[in-house]
Structure 1
Amino acid sequence: MSLTGILDIEKCAFVAAGSLREVYVHPVDDDVLVKVVRADVVGPDGHPVQRNRKRRRPWGVYLSFRREIDEYLIAARNQISTPDFRLPFARPLGLAATTRGLGLLVERISDNGATVPTLASLHKDGKLTPEHIAALHRFFEYCIEHHIVLGDAHLGNLVVDPQDSDRLICIDGFGEKTLIPVHRYSRRLNERMLRRKMARVLASIG
């Protein structure tokens, strides 16, 4: 398949859907996922149909793509001075034209080709263990230490690293969501936000 060709989403295996995007497996490379914006949330002008006009931004429905790419670029810069730094989120790999508009190509976190369940799935099936809870604490503390911004951290966006069972990876929702990126510029505010999110995640477990 040509790198400049258009990906036919109808030929991609469906993985999951959220409030804004759908996720598919790349038709050629099983280690790559393709995130596309749901057709029902895209207005004729490329902005979300329910977004307040006064809060519209030039990226339109692709704002979430920009957040993830920005966070990856910032983390990659930090890796230069901290060689042992490990990304706590799935890597964005690029952008591609698809039959459903622009697609964000991202690293697929899998275990020998098998889909890795989210912590939400494990919790639903009664398989969430004290080890998972301990990994949750380590994950948030790691993000605080390395000033990683998580706009939408919850059990459905977190999976266990198949290469390291003590480590979690965020597969979606990372990056700055606020109009003014206060969490990116302030470690203190980002830590406060992350501790609130950690508290909510732990409370959701019950």
Structure 2
Amino acid sequence: MRFFSKTIMIFSGCYFLSACSQGGIDSSPEELFIGHSFFKPFANNMEPLQQSAGLDGRTFEVVFSGGSNGAPQALWENDKKRDIIQGYLDGGNVELFAMTYESTYPTDEGYINWIDYALSNNPETTFVMALPWPDYPQDYATAEEYASIWHTAHDEAWSELVNSLRGLYPNNEFISLPYGQSALELRTLLEQDRLSDVDVMIGNV
């Protein structure tokens, strides 16, 4: 499972580096990532991935909360987490602000709250909307079924959400980051016995 998770992280990280670059730690970071455990590994490993790609370092911060607590709306409603994130945004140095998704909070409320707050001090910020893979892959009989669920969500509700935010904030760039697709591809490879170092889909971490 560790190998499987690391491979997902590398695939997705390389995709992300084509759109932006990350770096170290600062009280007023250039890049800010907020989310749950399906997003944290990518954010935390942007620096080594960036270095391996030969890109210049940038300061970044990660604010994490597990499971549904890492949804944008949940982080907004958490006084402690909100204060931390707002503190970074208040510095006015954030050029890229990345948020992920959790299905317990399917509306745009949390995203809009954070976007409005971010723009008050960081008017030219680029926003990254990151869509993870579906949880509990063992509950899906085949890789095709697993992928179908994700693609339907991406093509319909997710695209509608991202496009609606682009319409509300036409002066800012919104990057849709479908990093969850890496897990679909790895599930397919596993089903085809093409991941020689992986014996099980879900194991003890």
More strand by share: 1
Which structure is richer in relative contact order (CA contacts within 8 A, separation 6 or more)?
A: 2
